[in-house]
């Protein structure tokens, strides 16, 4: 029983760590998109690289 509890605890910790990494990656992507837009790159040109829709990129560009 203890082994199974440890496995659950480990999986929960892994999930928490991966969520933290994902949140940081999302923030980095938003920052990079804002910087690219501020540098004059068109939102349409970021769609493929960012793997987001044009509306998502525009929404990121409008947010701070």
Q: How far is CA 64 from the centre of its chain?
A: 15
> What are the tens digits of pLDDT across the range 2-32?
999 999 999 999 999 999 999 999 999 999 9
> What are the tens digits of pLDDT across the range 29-53?
999 999 999 999 999 999 999 999 9
* Residue 47 structural domain: 2-62
CA distances from 53 to 20, 32, 57, 58 (A): 24, 15, 6, 9
What pLDDT, on the 0 to 100 scale, is given for residue 31?
Answer: 97
Overall domain count for the chain: 1
């Amino acid at each position: 029983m203890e082994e199974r509890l440890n496995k659950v605890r480990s999986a929960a910790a892994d999930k928490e760590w991966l969520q933290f990494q994902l949140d940081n990656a999302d923030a980095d992507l938003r920052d990079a998109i804002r910087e690219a837009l501020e540098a004059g790159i068109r939102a349409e040109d970021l769609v493929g690289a960012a793997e987001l829709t044009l509306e998502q990129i525009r929404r990121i560009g409008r947010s701070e």
